[in-house]
C-alpha cells in the first residue's frame, strides 16, 4: 500500500479551542519536513513552532474503523 504524509499545524487558542490548519499531503516525509522549513519563518508559524505534526497515512485504508465518542467539557 502507498503511504502519504499529512502535514498540519495546530495553534492552541485556549483551554478548549484550537485552530487546525491542514497544510498539505506529500509523497514523502522529507517533502513534508521541507515545507516546515519553508513556512516555519512565516507570520504565525514562527510564533508557534511546536504546532507542526506529520502523520503517515496509508491510502485506501479506513482510519477510524471503531467510530468515535465525543466528550464535551464538563462530562469527563
* Tens-place pLDDT, residues 7-29: 999 998 877 788 999 999 999 99
- Rounded to two decimals, the pTM is 0.81
pLDDT for the residue 21: 95
φ, ψ (nearest 5 deg) of residue 35: -65, -40
The domain locations on the chain are 3-58
Sheet of 17-26, strands arranged across: 17-26, 3-14, 52-58
DSSP 75: -
Read off the pLDDT band of 76 (50, 70, 90): low
Amino acid at each position: 500500500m502507498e503511504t502519504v504524509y499529512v502535514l498540519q499545524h495546530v495553534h492552541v487558542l485556549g483551554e478548549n479551542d484550537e485552530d487546525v490548519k491542514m497544510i498539505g499531503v506529500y509523497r514523502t516525509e522529507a517533502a513534508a519536513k521541507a515545507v516546515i522549513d519553508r513556512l516555519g519563518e512565516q507570520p504565525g508559524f514562527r510564533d508557534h513552532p511546536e504546532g507542526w505534526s506529520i502523520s503517515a497515512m496509508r491510502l485506501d485504508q479506513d482510519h477510524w474503523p471503531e467510530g468515535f465518542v465525543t466528550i464535551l467539557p464538563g462530562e469527563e
